Amino acid sequence: MIYRFFWLSTLLFTALFAQAQLVDPATGQVKNELLVQLDKDAGVATLVQKINRQKAGSARYGHAAAKSLNIHLLQFDPAAWPADALMDWLRRQKEVTAAQYNYQIAFRQEPNDPDFVNQWGFPRIGLMDVWDISTGGLTANGDTIVVAVLDSGCDLGHPDLQGNIWNNAGEKPGDGIDNDGNGYIDDTFGWNFVDASNEMRINGHGTAVTGLIGAKGNNGIGISGTNWDIKVMVFAIQYVDQIISAYEYVIDQRRRYNESGGSEGAFVAATNASFGLTTPTFCDEQPIWGSMYDKMGDVGILTGAGTANRNLNVDEEGDMPTSCESDFIITVTNMNEDEVKESSSGYGEASIDMAAPGQNSYSLWLFDRYAPFDGNSAAAPHLTGAIALLYSMPCEELASDALSNPRETALLIRSTLINGTEPLASLEGLTATGGLLNVFNAMEILNEACGGTSGPLDILRIYPNPTSEEFFVEYETPDFEPYDFRVYNALGQEMYRNTETPPRFATKRLRIDTRNWAPGVYFAAIQRGEDREVKPVMVKVE
């Protein structure tokens, strides 16, 4: 009789606590769910048995949040384990490397202001000049650049996203088979973790975030994303365990791409985080979630994250994920058109790297429409889109290093964005850089790292000299505006004339054919306005 009562009560408990997540409306904490990370050789079933030996029938296995990392979701009875009793017990177990509560995510959007109908932030951060060099989409070696958007859902059918949604080449749509063996069936665009489905949720917030990163540019309709052409991998999330599962997914895709030289997986350059927790929380209180940014960084993935839509000091009060100290997360606060931090936005001289335009932005909305879009949810994709755009610069060394040295290349991109910020007095003491995102400045720094230079007008060398068939002129210019090139013979007659724009991301070099020239001394000149440099070259008979 006692056994029967125990069996019935256990069955009743299992039915009750498996029915719903007990979410604290004030904090978002799921009171009956814990995330645990185990040693690589430890089994989660054994751990659940140990818990139930302590309190009979008090816990059950939920699901694997990240199987390859041995991270799992457990559900438990809060009455059997009041307050943090189970958390404290788990942290004393030798096979448990980390434990934390699951949380419901709050998406970082403020109410829209319908009076603003343009994308004022794009020219403010230098995108117009960067688009003269690249509008995104591919690396210099032809790798298709992918950005992962974790959000509340997305209208994949919006006309301004067509052609820019990622397609998983490893899957055959609709065949009901996990063709690429990643644990997800028919995951053609990413995954809907909220419903455990390959059908995406449709939501305005996620659609607007996606639009700022990758709305199709120069197609004659609507708006443009920071990248005119790109592939956006989309995930629907609502809880921390789903963030972790999505991050595992993108790690797997990028690792496959790196290791296969691009024949498998996806070149995921960045993820966007326009979300956080309802209450201020430090990263060390979310050790499993917080550790994922370094794990993504190891395969070459950066994250752009917007801070809380509250006027709080993140350094003192905390915020997730912008309090995380990983080198692979870049954090922003929301700047308005008056070039000051929006009053309802977080800040922190240590935690928040820079400001980005957010307030009164403009993006995609539901039902094929467009609408104003506010808050740190809008600031973050300005930054995340900039990360992806920098990977498209015409620098072959950068593209090659992104596969052979992905971690170091991600750190290079991060440093160009940090060092390229534009100082603003209004941001002093509020961010680590005291400045605003400036993609053009970051591009200039990347240009120098990739071998491009600028300096006083000069002809650096002419070779071969003497020559019989051709010679090359290597030169320097202080900018990248058009310059006139001339070659004269000893009588002052013009033998060659051309106007060229000096290239970025490459050696400034000009080739001149001399096969039909008479032997003798010639003079090569580069000039613009009153600035002129001249050097001699000898043409000889072969």
Q: Is the pLDDT of residue 387 over 60?
A: yes
CATH code: domain of residue 535: 2.60.40.3080
* Averaged confidence pLDDT in the chain: 92
CATH code: domain of residue 216: 3.40.50.200
Instruction: Report how far apart the first and last C-alpha atoms of the chain are (Å, whole number).
Output: 110
Q: What is the pTM of this model?
A: 0.85
- Identify the domain boundary among 41, 72, 103: 103
Total domains, the chain: 3
Same domain as 251, residue 113:
yes
The Cα–Cα gap between 145 and 389 comes to 9
Instruction: For 194-219, write each residue's pLDDT tens digit.
Output: 999 999 999 999 999 999 999 999 88
Same domain as 485, residue 445:
no
- Identify the domain boundary among 449, 483, 512: 449
Same domain as 193, residue 46:
no
- Identify the domain boundary among 415, 449, 483: 449
Same domain as 123, residue 95:
no
Same domain as 405, residue 320:
yes
The Cα–Cα gap between 362 and 63 comes to 38
Q: How confident is the model at residue 18 (pLDDT cuts 50, 70, 90)?
A: very low
Same domain as 392, residue 306:
yes
Same domain as 470, residue 347:
no
Same domain as 316, residue 408:
yes
Q: Which of 337, 387, 388 is nearest to 362 (CA)?
A: 337
Q: What is the pLDDT of residue 23?
A: 86
Same domain as 92, residue 75:
yes
CB atoms < 10 A from the CB of 378, how many?
A: 29
* pLDDT above 90 as % of the chain: 84
Which helix (H) or strand (E) covers residue 14, if one does? helix 2-17
Q: How confident is the model at residue 144 (pLDDT cuts 50, 70, 90)?
A: very high
Query: Strand, helix or coil at 103?
Result: strand
Q: b/e for 91-130, b at 16 or more Cβ within 10 A?
A: eeeebbbbbbbbbbbebbbbebeeebeebebbebbbbeeb
Same domain as 150, residue 78:
no
Query: Strand, helix or coil at 520?
Result: strand
Q: Which of 161, 239, 165, 159 is nearest to 196 (CA)?
A: 239
DSSP state of 161: G
Q: What is the pLDDT of residue 507?
A: 85
More confident residue, 25 or 143: 143
Q: What is the pLDDT of residue 158?
A: 96
Same domain as 296, residue 417:
yes
Using CA of residue 337, residue 340, residue 341, residue 347, what is the dihedral sign? positive
Same domain as 486, residue 358:
no
Length of the chain: 542
Q: Is the pLDDT of residue 13 over 90?
A: no
Tell me the residue range of the domain where 535 lies: 458-539
Mean pLDDT (whole number) for 80-96: 95
CATH code: domain of residue 10: 3.30.70.80
Instruction: For 420-448, write each residue's pLDDT tens digit.
Output: 999 999 999 999 999 999 999 999 999 98
Whole-angstrom Cα Rg for the chain: 28
Q: Which of 382, 438, 378, 341 is nearest to 116 (CA)?
A: 378
DSSP assignment of 448-488:
HHTT----SSEEEEEESSSBSSEEEEEEE-SSSS-EEEEEE
